[in-house]
Structure 1
Amino acid sequence: RADILDKRARPVGPLHGIPLAVKDIISTKVMPTTCGSPIYRDHVVGRDAACVAQLVKAGAIVIGKSVTTEFAGGHAGKTHNPHNLRHTPAGSSSGSAAAVADFMAPVGYGTQTAGSVIRPGAFNGVVAYKGTYGWADMTGVKTYAKSLDTLGFFAREANDLALIRAAYGHAPADPPARGVAPRIGLVRTPWWDEADPYNRKNIEEAARTLRAAGARVREWVAPDSWTGLVPAQNRIMTKEATQSYAKERDRFSHLFSPTMKQVMLDGDAVSRRQYADAKKRKRTAVAQLADAWDKFDLLLTPAAKGEAPSGLGNTGDPLFNRFWTLLGTPCIALPFNSGPFGLPLSVQLVGRHGSDDQLVAWARWIEDRLA
């Protein structure tokens, strides 16, 4: 593929010759797609997923499949955090995030159903983007929870996000004019006290730095009712997972990890009424969030509780990602400082539904000021 591209008289697209790591729940034509499960060991789909075909058309070269946790769930894979091999790289898009962090690939595909793009980006110290729900064709991506699954990717800097979006035909938003700064809402969220103290200080330092750079930073207080969004997201996720994996469960449940078996049981326990209530909570919160966009261009909030935890059996807590995934907002993790163990910390930027390109433009502005 690289030799063929080298012979072209001109670039075929914005990603001409760029190596791409593909999360192993995303189908590729000739490479196995195992979904991190022995059920699909050596399974070759025979065609590229729509998102892979899109970047290949733009000139990217698929260099390999990256490790995913089992079915993009909570059972950890074999990837280590390149900043400290004794610490988790998070999940489920662990391999793609670690590959970009370790300079194996400049771009990697991931997916997020709870916190599987933003949290690995934060733990591995790379830029991570989770798009607005429904922004990309998910054909060829193994489904976990249909109403939550969202495509994302990892890169080394915010400028790269604009290039990848361009490969999808999106015209990158112009960088803010000189002297123009964003209106930023600092969202501590109802779970602020769950974040490690050093991470809370880091978010506040980022807010001060951006305010000093000219941004208008004010606090936006999420409604008290948002405390119900985390269990709502989990109910929707587990219930839909029982539907997505009914075939595998029926024939190969003995090959499920204990973690996956528990997900199935949790989903079974969600009643129709509870599922409907979770969906209602989502609709209410989306309407409440609309109030913020009259005041702010983007929101600033934690990307994770803190540094990557030690040990490889636990991928970390997606607490600060679940509710944004439920609301379908575009999110970006930007590295900023390090924690007490020398591991990366990040901030999370959240944009209005469908404002992905503008959020990328503001991320470029913010990245420059936080550097």
Structure 2
Amino acid sequence: MAKSPNRLSASEAVLRMAQKRLKARDLVEACLDRIEAREGQVHAWEALDPDGARKRADVLDKRSRPTGPLHGIPLAVKDIIATKTMPTTCGSPIYRDHVVGKDADCVTRLVKAGAIVLGKAVTTEFAGGHAGKTHNPHNLRHTPAGSSSGSAAAVADFMVPVGYGTQTAGSVIRPGAFNGVVAYKGSYGWADMTGIKAYAPFLDTLGFFAREANDLALIRAAYGHAPADPIPGPPARPPRIGLIRTPWWDIAEPYNRKNIEEAARTLRAAGARVREWQAPDNWANLMQAQHRIMTKEATQSYAKERARSSHLFSPIMHGVMEEGDAVSRKQYADAKKRRRTALAQLDDAWTRFDILLAPSAKGEAPSGLGNTGDPIFNRFWTLLGTPCIALPFNTGPFGLPLSVQLVGARGTDDQLIAWARWVERKLS
């Protein structure tokens, strides 16, 4: 039986449209049908623009040639990212009806590449720790993680093939892991963040969710970073992979530790050279460093909201402000110094490995919707600004998705995506 259009990956859909076997309007309608059937349970969306999406699809279908690498692909936009006509609420009652009147740079780029903005996806409050309304589509009693909860859940539930997210701690990779989709957090600074509500500018990084690793290359192509070919060739040789257990390895669930080790064995059997790389002992201090930078900068990013509307902050947001206030200038500077030291130490890994293999999360998505999960396996990579990709691999004891995380050197995003395609094939 042929796949319903909404279940296609972006790469599959783009190829079918180029071959005139699929219309953008049909893909949009299939996505809207899925949303109508499931949104009442999953709650992935803050706002939708069905009429605008249909009109855009009809315009694209009249063109004789594809507009760009994402021609006809529906897109979910995280609700801290500005859009011209839909509200950008940032998951807060402070901005309930706020319409920016201009698309963020990242939205403009994908629209120019042929994407169709379907709607705004739910975010946690200001992309922080206070959970939104979204449920995990694999089990509605479990969290989808945060803060990019709506985008990850929408892609996982076949409501849309691609969704934008952002990461300041673990807000892309962890939702990707919990929802069983491919997730990408780029190298720090890889994309223009204009039009995205800042949380901690020294850490905030753009990312996205998709169904297969090759979709990442298509989205990067919209930025001029990678070829738009939807059927890439394999790398010339298997990768050199460093298995990094991290200083927090024992915090991962036992079944998840076994899953990472199984992935390492599978990739070794497929021809990869897999060896362990021991993180330096002083990396244990990186968690505190990331948290200090994040909370201190949050007090600066949300000073206006705090002064005018702090009564509308959640208790979690009030806590962040208090923690940030307690960070001294010396502690903030020391946190950045720790980052520089760790980056120099990480250079040793890149002389021996193409990519690092690490956990994406502690384990399966926890039950309950009030807790978005622990970003402990993401915080330090965000601090170091490395590109990261989460790939689904197996399920846990409750039948929820598990995932592996691939990490590359800063600025090697496209090569990391190429290796991710190789790893994805071998783990499938």
TM-score tier after normalising by the smaller chain length: over 0.9
Q: Distance in 1 between matches of 2:264 and 2:62?
A: 48
2:11 equivalent in structure 1: none
Pair 1:133-2:188 in alignment: yes
Pair 1:294-2:368 in alignment: no
1:163 equivalent in structure 2: 218
1:1-371, aligned counterparts within 5 Å?
A: 1-172=56-227, 175-177=233-235, 180-371=237-428
Local SS of the residue matching 1:43: coil
Q: Distance in 2 between matches of 1:13 and 1:45?
A: 26
Q: Distance in 2 between matches of 1:176 and 1:157?
A: 15
Local SS of the residue matching 2:422: helix
Q: Distance in 2 between matches of 1:272 and 1:219?
A: 37
Local SS of the residue matching 1:92: coil
Closer, same or farther: CA 42–308 of 1 in aligned 2, 3 Å: same
* CA deviation map 1:144-200 (0-9, x unaligned): 00000000000000011111111111124964446x100000000000000000000
Q: Distance in 2 between matches of 1:336 and 1:344?
A: 7
Q: Distance in 1 between matches of 2:187 and 2:262?
A: 27
Q: Give the letter aligned to residue 414 of structure 2.
A: D
CA contact (8 A) 2:80 2:88 kept: yes
Q: Give the letter aligned to residue 35 of structure 1.
A: C
Q: Distance in 2 between matches of 1:217 and 1:366?
A: 12
Q: Distance in 1 between matches of 2:407 and 2:244?
A: 10
Q: Give the letter aligned to residue 200 of structure 1.
A: R
Q: Give aligned pairs, total.
A: 370
Q: Distance in 2 between matches of 1:243 and 1:176?
A: 45
CA contact (8 A) 2:235 2:419 kept: no
Local SS of the residue matching 1:319: coil
Structure number with greater CO (CA < 8 Å, separation at least 6) is 1
CA contact (8 A) 1:175 1:362 kept: no
Aligned-pair Cα RMSD in Å: 0.9
Q: Distance in 2 between matches of 1:19 and 1:164?
A: 12
> Is there any run of 5+ residues in structure 2 with no aligned partner, and where?
1-55
Q: Distance in 2 between matches of 1:121 and 1:175?
A: 25
Q: Distance in 1 between matches of 2:401 and 2:59?
A: 38
Local SS of the residue matching 1:291: helix
Query: % of aligned pairs identical?
Result: 84
Q: Give the letter aligned to residue 205 of structure 1.
A: E
Q: Give the letter aligned to residue 215 of structure 1.
A: A
Closer, same or farther: CA 2–286 of 1 in aligned 2, 3 Å: same
CA contact (8 A) 1:175 1:365 kept: no
Q: Distance in 2 between matches of 1:176 and 1:282?
A: 34
State the 1:8 CA deviation. Answer: 1.2
CA contact (8 A) 1:133 1:328 kept: yes
Q: Distance in 2 between matches of 1:123 and 1:29?
A: 31
> Is there any run of 5+ residues in structure 1 with no aligned partner, and where?
none
Q: Distance in 2 between matches of 1:40 and 1:145?
A: 19
* CA deviation map 1:63-93 (0-9, x unaligned): 0000000000000000000000000000000
Closer, same or farther: CA 75–212 of 1 in aligned 2, 3 Å: same
TM-score if structure 1 supplies the norm length? 0.99
Local SS of the residue matching 2:378: helix
Q: Distance in 1 between matches of 2:65 and 2:417?
A: 27
Q: Give the letter aligned to residue 86 of structure 1.
A: R
Q: Distance in 2 between matches of 1:131 and 1:186?
A: 20
Q: Give the letter aligned to residue 318 of structure 1.
A: P
Q: Give the letter aligned to residue 199 of structure 1.
A: N
